[in-house]
Chain A
Amino acid sequence: MSVAVIQFPGSNCENETCDALESNQIQYTLVPWNTDESLDRFDGFILPGGFSFQDRIRAGVIAAKLPILDKIKQQSEVYQKPILGICNGAQILVESGLFSDQNDIIDFNYIDHQMVGFICDWGFLTPFNSKDNLFLKSLSDNDVLPIQICHGEGRFILNYSPKSGMKYTSIDGKSTSDFPITPNGAEQGIAAISNTNGNALAIMPHPERSLDSKCYPLSIRAYAKKHNLNLIDFKSLFRAFEVQK
């Protein structure tokens, strides 16, 4: 099993993404955006977070138009290889049309007619229709997963209902699209979407930084302990690459 972590000019989350793979004993290769080599030898792909091409014009749009995205889309369509886009990587995948041919976009964080700018905080996600996506399969729809949120443009705008994905939720598992549970104004409170085949996931918060309960803030750990909540970590998301082998 070898996963290609695609590095664009301006990617800055590739190290923690590689660490997340390494902690699950999954081999990886950092692949530059302008490589000429075939992607056939890889069994899966991750597009990490950051600011590809300084987010010029619109976050992810320049990277989405590069030939390497055509190759990745081909690997998805022909071989159904697992593809994970995190943060800016999610924006690139969405802009490339891999999910729904431009019926979706990840836009500014925008709540009640106000742009809210950059958000760096912890939040919680819960999967929906988890069995329909390769990365979410081992989770159940009632699970609550703490996750680090870190984005200035992170609001999903969709004119369809995704087949599967993740929504923002409270620590008690109550989903709503209202602030502050959905911190960025995303439609339907969506934080991650799956493609139709279920082999790709675009997720805006950072699962690679939320692998271990030891990195959760004390307040979350204390609340979970007091109320006897079973919080789930994101290790299984990366293990999906190994399962797919």
Chain B
Amino acid sequence: MIILTTLKQKDLAAVSAQQLFDNYYVGETKPKKINRYEQFEIIGHFDQNELLEKIENSYVFANPNKHHLITSPDHFNANETYFNVCRKSPLNLNSKVKSLNQLIGHGEVTAVHSSELWAFQIDTPTQVDELKLSLIESSSNNLAPFAHPLIHDVAMITFEDLVNALPKSQTTTN
């Protein structure tokens, strides 16, 4: 099961990245808007609906005063291009695994893998590989700050795939 969170106020990592591109980027694929989401993949054997309800009523992933907890596609739109940046050795959040196992009545959560999802609004249609090279993967001759080739893997995610991956995709898209 995949859920995401994002800050209710402006995410300063996204703001810094946006400023970097606004001030120094020379190229056609300059992103108009950048958003950052934290993505959590919850792995184990459990009742998805039960766990989701418990998560929504807890502070395990999101403080409702500060974060949006995203379980449906409402925050996303088809105009954006999405990239998931995850560590080559998955970042497993043990404290969240413990918290979730205390919450659920049946089953077991075995891992919670954390990664980042970056959303870009780009006007010019561009090849995915070109976007990765110019915007995402850092090198000494580009401005891309989001992933380092030694420690991160990058995957482009289409809007449709993202919508389908979210637990409440069926109820909200129908």
Residues of A at the B interface (CB closer than 8 Å) are 53-54, 56-58, 61-62, 65-67, 95-98, 101-105, 107, 113, 157, 159
1/0 contact trace for B113-148 toward A, CB 8 Å? 000000000000000000000000011110101101
Q: Decide yes or no whether B13 CB sits under 8 A from chain A.
A: yes
Q: Is the CB of A65 within 8 A of B148?
A: no
Q: Which residues of B lie under 8 Å from residue A66 when comparing CB positions?
A: 24
B12 proximal to A (CB < 8 A)? yes
Contact between chains at B16 and A56 (CB < 8 Å): yes
Taking the closest CB of chain A, its distance from the CB of B136, in whole angstroms, is 11
A103 and B13 in contact (CB under 8 A), knowing A57-B145, A65-B143, A67-B24? no
Please report B residues at the A interface, Cβ cutoff 8 Å: 12-13, 16-17, 20, 24, 89, 138-141, 143, 145-146, 148-151
Interface class of chain A by DSSP: loop
B94 to chain A, nearest CB (A): 9
Expressed in whole angstroms, the Cα–Cα distance for A98 and B24 within the complex equals: 19
Separation in Å of the B1 CB from the closest CB of chain A?
24
B151 contacts which chain A residues (CB < 8 A)?
Answer: 105, 107, 157
Please report the C-alpha to C-alpha distance between residue A54 and residue B11 in the assembled complex, in whole angstroms.
12
The interface residues of chain A lying within 8 Å CB-to-CB of B24 are: 65-67
With a cutoff of 8 Å between Cβ atoms, the chain A residues found around residue B140 in the complex are 96-98, 101-102
B89 neighbours in A (Cβ, 8 Å): 113
Give the contacting residue for A102; candidates B13, B139, B145; CB below 8 A: B139
Q: A65-B20, A67-B24 are contacts. A105–B150 as well, Cβ < 8 Å?
A: yes
Once bound together, how far apart are the Cα atoms of A190 and B12, in whole Å?
32
Cα-based distance from A101 to B138 in the complex (angstroms)? 10
Which of B145, B149, B150 is the one whose CB lies under 8 Å from A65?
B145
Additional 15 contacts, C-beta under 8 A, given A57-B16, A61-B145, A105-B148 = A54-B12, A56-B16, A57-B13, A57-B17, A57-B145, A57-B146, A61-B148, A62-B16, A65-B24, A65-B145, A66-B24, A97-B139, A101-B140, A105-B151, A113-B89
